[in-house]
Amino acid sequence: MENKDSPRPIVIVGSSGHAKVIIDMVNLQGGCHIVGLLDRFREKGTEALGYPILGKEEDLAELIAREKVEGVIIAIGDNFVRKTVAEQIKASHPSIRFPHVVHPRATVADGVMIGEGSVVMAGAVVNPGAAVGNFCMVNTNASLDHDSILEDYASLAPGVNVGGGCRIGRTSAIGIGAAVIHGITIGDDAIIGAGAVVVTSIPPRVVAYGSPAKEVRARIAGKKYL
Share of the chain above pLDDT 70, in %: 98
Does residue 226 belong to any structural domain of this protein? no
Does residue 223 sit within a domain?
no
Could you tell me which of 69, 5, 61 has the C-alpha nearest to residue 36?
Answer: 69
Q: What is the mean pLDDT of residues 57-61?
A: 94
Same domain? For 148 and 188 the reply is: yes
Q: How many domains does the chain have?
A: 2
CATH of the domain at 119: 2.160.10.10
The per-residue pLDDT for 2 is 43
Q: Model confidence at 148, in pLDDT bands (50, 70, 90)?
A: very high
> Do 169 and 186 contact (CB within 8 A), yes or no?
yes
- Mean pLDDT confidence for 19-28: 96
* 146 noted as active-site residue: yes
Question: Which tens digit of pLDDT belongs to each residue from 203-219?
Answer: 999 999 999 999 999 99
User: What integer pLDDT is reported at residue 3 of this predicted model?
Assistant: 44
Residues spanned by the domain of 142:
103-214
**pLDDT tens-digit profile of 92-130?**
999 999 999 999 999 999 999 999 999 999 999 999 999
State the chain's mean pLDDT as an integer.
95
Distance CA 55, CA 75 (A): 15
Catalytic residue among 33, 93, 103, 146: 146
Q: Same domain, yes or no, for 108 and 208?
A: yes
Residue 220 lies in a domain: no
Which amino acid belongs to residue 119? V
